[in-house]
Amino acid sequence: MANTTTLRAKGSWREQLVRDLTGDVLEIGVGSGANLPLYRAAAGVWAIEPDATLAAKAESRRGETSVPIVVKVGAAESLPFEDARFDHVVSSLVFCSVADPERALGEIRRVLKPDGALHMVEHIRPTTSAVAAVFSAVTPIWSRVAHNCHLDRPTIDLLRGHGWTVHLHRRRTVFVHVTAIPPAP
């Protein structure tokens, strides 16, 4: 019973990702806005999404939280914001699909304040090499039917390779919830 209560208190993975974030938050690839009603503590949320139809759906959910929300059409590789603008950046199930993950990460670093953090739930390349090879073999076909989703993106390695410090909150099979701190300027 105690465990059930604890799990309920923690909430869904989406709640755990965004609920307690404070200050100004940027969510990249917001899609239809599934996370937007779950922000509780942010001063404001700016959300970008390259697909204008999805961005309009996200925009329509603005009234589902008391947190002020602005939705813009845009891509993570070219963020329409000034340097050091945000306290937090959120990415949920986005880095598998971005066309240029390195450039997107560089942009996220640029718009984060020096003491800011990137919060991600992503699926990543499996750690077992045989399974990873299967995921890589399937990805060329999968990415064509699943909006450029890559099953073999080594997103955590990408972060670490660029000097980010990665704190793992939760891992379930290939899904991870992490907070990443950018390298010192």
Binding positions for ligand SAM, 90-149, rule CB under 6 A: 92-94, 97-99
Q: Between β-strands 112-123 and 69-73, what pairing exists: parallel, antiparallel or unpaired?
A: unpaired
Which of these ranges, 28-36, 37-45, 127-135, 173-181, lies near ligand SAM under the rule CB under 6 A?
Answer: 28-36
List of residues 6+ apart from 135 with CB closer than 8 A: 125, 126, 151, 152, 174
Among 18, 25, 30, 117, binds ligand SAM (CB under 6 A): 30
User: Does 54 participate in binding ligand SAM (rule CB under 6 A)?
Assistant: yes
Q: How far apart are CA 122 and CA 144, in angstroms?
A: 19
Residue 44 in tokens:
């404001």
Check: CB of residue 97 under 8 Å from CB of residue 71: no
Beta carbon of residue 44, minimum distance to ligand SAM (angstroms, whole number): 18
Element (H, E) at 71: strand 69-73
Amino acid, single-letter form, for residue 144 = R
Check: CB of residue 174 under 8 Å from CB of residue 143: no
Among 26, 38, 67, 76, binds ligand SAM (CB under 6 A): 76
**What is 164-184 written as a DSSP string?**
-EEEEEEEETTEEEEEEEPPP
Q: Which of 116, 53, 54 is nearest to 81 (CA)?
A: 116
Beta carbon of residue 51, minimum distance to ligand SAM (angstroms, whole number): 4
Nearer CB in complex with ligand SAM: 2/52: 52
Which of these ranges, 1-9, 44-52, 135-143, 161-169, lies near ligand SAM under the rule CB under 6 A?
Answer: 44-52
Which of these ranges, 30-38, 127-135, 152-160, 168-176, lies near ligand SAM under the rule CB under 6 A?
Answer: 30-38
Beta carbon of residue 5, minimum distance to ligand SAM (angstroms, whole number): 27
Beta carbon of residue 101, minimum distance to ligand SAM (angstroms, whole number): 9
Residue whose entry in the numeric block shows the structure tokens 């404001």: 44
Task: Give contact residues for ligand SAM (rule: CB under 6 A).
Answer: 28-31, 34, 49-51, 54, 75-77, 92-94, 97-99
